[in-house]
């Protein structure tokens, strides 16, 4: 009888611990996360322009490393930094720096070649990536 | 001939005031808030887009669902997978126009109350909605702020009975954006 009670207690405790762990599961650490794939900014944008649905099936919610030349960097009042990568079109690949990561730098020179790793969230004029960190 | 050219140039110069312009942003802040008895849930996207035609008051908004960031990773996962099905419906959009546009003078600095009517599309379901907000003209830009409520049930977003205390059917949405004159390469 005692054994059953102990067993039940153990199960309840384990269940609680798993629940608690899941509840507080941290966001993916972008610095250490591995990119699912790497692609050139222009190629990514062109695929999205050609067929958004097909591109979403390939890239949506994937962690991708995108390389390209910096077109513009903007910094919002709340500190949000976005870097737009040139694709030769009016719109580009817009990388929003991760608010949860420490960034060695948030200034980027127009024209310099950079690579950002981030989550592809889809097409909204630009192809958007959130939680980006620079890859060296 | 020269006179005519001059006249033509003058016409072009004067017929293109701020009015005939489109305003745009890719930095619209879209926030939502669910206030249920057991839990408060909040998420924000800072990459919504908006285009407003300053000649007609027509506007279009779009925000990507997977761009919403939550405090808790698990909530973000559930939001995307169980409720919004964001792989199937990657964005939310609004297309509409300002209904009291004649009361607004976009060429004069100031704050105006704007009423907007149009079609909201969330989770693949389109609904006619009417909201109001503040449109502030200043520094050559248009600042838009609006707060309104949408119902999950209106957009076929199902909340299981067990989650009713955690997720409200009424979701408060806050939109905060500064639109600038659209230029090529924006």
Cβ separation B46–A128 shorter than 8 A: no
- Minimal C-alpha gap between A75 and chain B (Å): 10
Give the CA angle between residues A64, A68, A72 to the nearest 5°.
Answer: 110
Q: Kindly compute the dihedral angle of the four CA atoms of residues B91, B61, B16, B139, in this order, to the nearest 10 degrees.
A: -120
A94 at interface of B, judged by CB pairs closer than 8 A: yes
In a domain? residue A112: yes
At residue B8, the pLDDT reads: 56
Q: Predicted confidence band at A75 (pLDDT cuts at 50, 70, 90)?
A: very high
Q: Predicted confidence band at B5 (pLDDT cuts at 50, 70, 90)?
A: low
In a domain? residue A22: no
In a domain? residue A12: no
Question: Alpha-carbon distance B159 to B166, whole Å?
Answer: 9
User: CATH top-level class for B20-181?
Assistant: mainly beta
Query: Which CATH number goes with the domain that contains A102?
Result: 2.40.50.140
Q: What is the number of domains present in chain A?
A: 1
* Closest alpha carbon within chain B to A28: B73
Q: Quick one: chain B helix, strand, coil %, rounded to 5? A: 20, 50, 25
Q: Is the pLDDT of residue B14 over 60?
A: no
Q: What is the mean pLDDT of chain B?
A: 90
Q: Is the pLDDT of residue A95 over 80?
A: yes
Q: What is the mean pLDDT of residues B154-158?
A: 96
In a domain? residue A107: yes
The residue that leads in pLDDT, B38 or B49, is B49
ipTM for the predicted complex comes to: 0.88
Nearest by CB: A122 against B64, B76, B185: B64
Q: Quick one: chain A helix, strand, coil %, rounded to 5? A: 30, 35, 35
Burial of B29 (0-12, 13-18, 19+ CB in 10 A): buried
Q: Which residues of B49-86 are buried (b: 16+ CB within 10 A; e: fewer)?
A: bbbbbbeebbbbbbbbbbbbbbebbebbebbbeebbeb
Q: Are A68 and A85 spatial neighbours (Cβ–Cβ below 8 Å)? A: yes
At residue A19, the pLDDT reads: 80
Residue of A48, A82, A121 to mutate, interface with B, max B Cβ within 10 Å: A121
* Closest alpha carbon within chain B to A76: B27
Nearest by CB: A130 against B67, B73, B86: B67
Cβ separation B66–A22 shorter than 8 A: no
Q: Predicted confidence band at A3 (pLDDT cuts at 50, 70, 90)?
A: confident
Q: Is the pLDDT of residue A22 over 80?
A: no
Q: Is the pLDDT of residue B185 over 50?
A: no
Q: Is the pLDDT of residue A56 over 90?
A: yes
């Amino acid at each position: 009888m005692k054994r059953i009670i102990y067993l039940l207690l153990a199960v309840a405790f384990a269940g609680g611990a798993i629940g608690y762990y899941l509840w507080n599961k941290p966001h993916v650490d972008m610095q250490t996360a591995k990119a699912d794939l790497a692609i050139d900014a222009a190629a990514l944008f062109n695929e999205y322009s050609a067929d958004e649905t097909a591109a979403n099936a390939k890239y949506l919610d994937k962690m991708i490393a995108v390389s390209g030349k910096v077109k513009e960097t903007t910094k919002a009042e709340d500190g949000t930094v976005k870097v737009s990568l040139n694709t030769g079109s009016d719109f580009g690949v817009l990388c929003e720096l991760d608010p949860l990561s420490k960034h060695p730098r948030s200034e980027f020179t127009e024209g310099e070649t950079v690579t950002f790793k981030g989550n592809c969230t889809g097409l909204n004029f630009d192809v958007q990536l959130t939680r980006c960190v620079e890859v060296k | 001939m020269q006179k005519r050219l001059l006249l033509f140039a003058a016409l072009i110069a004067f017929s293109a005031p701020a009015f005939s312009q489109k305003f745009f942003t890719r930095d619209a802040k879209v926030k939502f808030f669910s206030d249920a008895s057991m839990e408060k849930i909040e998420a924000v996207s800072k990459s919504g887009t908006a285009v407003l035609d300053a000649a007609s008051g027509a506007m279009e908004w779009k925000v990507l669902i997977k761009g919403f960031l939550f405090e808790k990773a698990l909530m973000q996962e559930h939001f995307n997978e169980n409720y919004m099905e964001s792989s199937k419906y990657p964005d939310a959009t609004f297309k509409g126009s300002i209904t009291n546009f004649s009361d607004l003078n976009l060429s004069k600095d100031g704050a105006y109350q704007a009423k907007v009517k149009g079609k909201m599309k969330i989770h693949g379901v389109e609904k006619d909605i009417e909201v109001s907000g503040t449109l502030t003209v200043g520094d050559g830009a248009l600042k838009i702020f609006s707060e309104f409520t949408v119902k999950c049930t209106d957009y076929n977003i199902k909340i299981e009975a067990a989650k009713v205390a955690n997720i409200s059917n009424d979701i408060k949405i806050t939109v905060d954006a500064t639109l600038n004159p659209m230029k090529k390469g924006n």
